[in-house]
Copies of this chain bind each other. A is one copy, B any other.
């Protein structure tokens, strides 16, 4: 049996007694996310020959029956518009999504999953869910709920802070 606890990002804190707990928490948050994200990226690449941003874009569309406009995708995925164009071009080239005209605004378009895209996504989503459930399998239902609630507070606080700092530069 190999040793499970290797040194990692958190190692940089050893011996720094004066660091607030918030810093320890952040490093642990980062480590957990990176560990799970690496597994998800590897799975998407090996089993589906795709990437996380491509999966994310399709996941957004799967929940939007009428599709989403480019700028809406840009906001939700937290990346700038040019990147959405690029990913959309790839997926459209493979017939997984399509651009649909928007009535009343000839500048805009909605991006929609094609039937082929919907079908492929459902397989990926199933695998993705299994990876995540496995990764978080060490927690009880109650612990999952607690984490979800507390991270909700973090998210609300950070989003507020970001908004305010953008509004008052």
Contact = CB atoms under 8 A, between A and B. Distances in A.
A92 interface: no
A105 to B, nearest CB: 20
Interface string A118-146: 00000000000100111111110101111
Contact of A4 (B11, B19, B156): B156
A102 interface: no
* Assembly stoichiometry (copies): 2
A39 B147 contact: no
Interface residues of A, number: 74
Interface of A: 2, 4-9, 11-16, 19-26, 28-39, 56, 59-60, 62-63, 72, 75-78, 129, 132-139, 141, 143-148, 150-163, 167
17 contacts: A2-B167, A7-B76, A8-B78, A9-B78, A11-B60, A13-B63, A21-B144, A22-B132, A22-B133, A22-B137, A23-B133, A24-B148, A25-B148, A26-B36, A29-B32, A29-B33, A136-B157
